[in-house]
Amino acid sequence: MMSKLIRRPGRLSVALLLLLLSMPILAEPASAVLVEDGYVRELIPGQHNTAAFMTLVNNTDQEQVILAVTAAGVERVELHQHLHRPQGMTMEAVNKVTIAAGERFEFAPGGYHVMLIGVKQASVGQLLALQLQLANGEVVKRLLPVQGY
């Protein structure tokens, strides 16, 4: 009985955190592009590069284009894709990402990812502020949680 009472506040604060994370979307007029399930992979000690993953949802009936991404405390952000080459897996920068009308675009391990280069700090539990610059002029801002491997 005691342990249940102790665990409960933890669950409540997770629910509260999720609610707070989802609030910017509810409070602002709907963006042309929505970010779902976003996270940043924790920085391996001694390394300075990592990646962010998420699903982008085109909320409009027109094609949407991501031109650039910036992140707080990160020197350079690039849009990357993984490629299978004879010499093995390699990654390459792309200058934009296009999401067809009403479609979804996934940044996922082994595929497209948001490459974070020169990251000051990214440890589990931290939130990283990411900004997506759309071709329509809109800037989509999102706080992404840092997750472990």
* Residue 117: strand pairing partners: 49, 76
Residue 80 makes contact with Cu ion by CB under 5 A: yes
Q: What is the rounded CA–CA span in Å between residue 124 and residue 71?
A: 17
Q: Shortest gap between Cβ of 62 and Cu ion (angstroms)?
A: 28
Q: Shortest gap between Cβ of 69 and Cu ion (angstroms)?
A: 12
CB–CB of 39/114 below 8 Å? no
Residue 91 makes contact with Cu ion by CB under 5 A: yes
Over the range 133-142, which residues count as b (16 or more CB within 10 Å of their CB) and which as e? bbeeeeebeb
Compare residues 18 and 94 and give the one whose CB is closer to Cu ion. Answer: 94
Q: Shortest gap between Cβ of 60 and Cu ion (angstroms)?
A: 28
* Residue 56: strand pairing partners: 35, 105
Contact pick of 33, 97, 115, 119 for Cu ion (by CB under 5 A): 115
| Contact residues: Cu ion, CB under 5 A | 80, 91, 115
